[in-house]
Amino acid sequence: MRIGSVLLSLLLVAGCGQASPAALQAGSSPSHEPLRARRDMSKETAGKETIRRQIPRRFEAAVVGGRLTAAQHGWPGPRLPIAPPPRQIDCTRHKCVALTFDDGPGDDTGKLLDMLAAHHARATFFMLGQMINDETRDFVRRMVSEGHEVGNHSWDHPALAGLSSEAVKRQLERTQEVVQQVTGVRMIVMRPPYGSTNQQVEAATREEGLAQIMWAVDTLDWRDRNSAIVAKRCAEAKPGDVVLMHDIHPTTVDAVPHLLDELDRRGFTYVTVSELFGSLTPGKQYFNR
């Protein structure tokens, strides 16, 4: 009996002592379990933790959310672009013209942005929600970061005057949502496809906080796929005009350097529609200044 008691005491003492290296490697000691859990953290969780530690304390929530989403999707850098500071341009003293491009973004939108940047020209892009995808989202971000204005052109280009109030609302809301998701920008201007509008569309745009931007110069670039003709029609713009074009047509994009050269020669300043009109009233239609 005495021998058995001694053996039992020895076993208990050994059990209370330090665990063997083999036991620690196997993770059997509860006191080392949190350390092992941290060490075994998944790559995804570790990535999120790294991003969280890198976020400055005073950082806009939208940008923080953009960076987190960017990391989750593998996108490089911040997801939300940073727009340049607003410009103070007095279009009563300067020869202002608002170049606008509909139906994109398209395959040639990047080329168009290069051309506008070379001339220090800003424009307004009225985009279709369904055209914003993995291949074109960077064009939309670039528009914002280079000082262009982004506008709502519906989701898939129906004649809005022929739709119900609920259908018009869905067309506008879906495009508002996708552009805000990609850029962080809540659009304040829209263009009804085909210029199709009525009191019902006016009410929907007013509710959505969108001014209706029409046009004073129609280049008819969708009909006449001729760069020389498009450039000539655009160059006929007068101060305060809104010019309608489409960045989905290669012939239009090819016309841009020529029309910019001519408008440069005439001393025009290229502005967004919000810069042209200043304060905009949701629901109201605007053609020229």
> Each residue of 30-44: pLDDT tens digit?
333 333 333 343 443
Residue with the bigger pLDDT between 186 and 77: it is 186
Task: Check whether residue 57 and residue 140 sit in a common domain.
Answer: no
Residue with the bigger pLDDT between 64 and 270: it is 270
Q: Given this model, what pLDDT does residue 220 score?
A: 98
Average pLDDT over residues 199-211: 98
Q: Is 218 a catalytic residue?
A: no
Quote the tokens at residue 272. 């967004």
Alpha carbon 66 to chain centroid distance?
A: 11
Task: Check whether residue 126 and residue 203 sit in a common domain.
Answer: yes
Return d(Cα 287, Cα 289) in angstroms, integer. 7
Q: Is residue 100 included in any domain, yes or no?
A: yes
Average pLDDT over residues 123-136: 98
Residue 198 belongs to domain spanning: 96-286
Q: Given this model, what pLDDT does residue 22 score?
A: 37
Return d(Cα 10, Cα 29) in angstroms, integer. 20
Q: What is the mean pLDDT of the chain?
A: 82
Return d(Cα 131, Cα 194) in angstroms, integer. 17
Q: Is residue 9 included in any domain, yes or no?
A: no
Q: Given this model, what pLDDT does residue 273 score?
A: 98
Secondary structure percentages of the chain, helix, strand, coil, to 5: 50, 10, 40
Task: Check whether residue 112 and residue 140 sit in a common domain.
Answer: yes
Q: Other CB atoms closer than 10 Å to residue 117's CB: what's the count? A: 14
Average pLDDT over residues 131-142: 97
Which pTM value belongs to this model?
A: 0.74
Q: Given this model, what pLDDT does residue 68 score?
A: 46
Structure confidence by residue, pLDDT tens digits, 265-285: 999 999 999 999 999 999 999
Cβ distance 56 to 78 under 8 Å? no
Q: Given this model, what pLDDT does residue 46 score?
A: 40
Average pLDDT over residues 207-224: 98
Task: Check whether residue 162 and residue 253 sit in a common domain.
Answer: yes
Task: Check whether residue 75 and residue 173 sit in a common domain.
Answer: no
Structure confidence by residue, pLDDT tens digits, 137-175: 999 999 999 999 999 999 999 999 999 999 999 999 999
Identify the residue whose tokens are 């350390």.
Answer: 35
pLDDT at residue 20 tops 80: no
Annotated catalytic residue within 102, 221, 241, 247: 102
Residue with the bigger pLDDT between 246 and 78: it is 246
Q: Given this model, what pLDDT does residue 1 score?
A: 43
Q: Is 258 a catalytic residue?
A: no
Closest CA to 154 of 176, 128, 131: 128
pLDDT at residue 80 tops 80: yes
Average pLDDT over residues 211-233: 98
Q: Is residue 88 included in any domain, yes or no?
A: no
Q: Other CB atoms closer than 10 Å to residue 155's CB: what's the count? A: 19
Structure confidence by residue, pLDDT tens digits, 105-127: 999 999 999 999 999 999 999 99
Average pLDDT over residues 86-96: 95
Q: Given this model, what pLDDT does residue 147 score?
A: 98
Quote the tokens at residue 183. 């850029």
Q: Is residue 2 included in any domain, yes or no?
A: no
Question: How many domains does one find in the chain?
Answer: 2
Annotated catalytic residue within 148, 153, 246, 249: 246
Cβ distance 281 to 143 under 8 Å? no
Task: Check whether residue 67 and residue 181 sit in a common domain.
Answer: no
Q: For residue 179, give the CATH number of its domain.
A: 3.20.20.370
Distant-in-sequence, close-in-space partners of 154: CB < 8 Å, separation ≥ 6 = 128, 129, 160, 171, 172, 175, 190, 192, 193
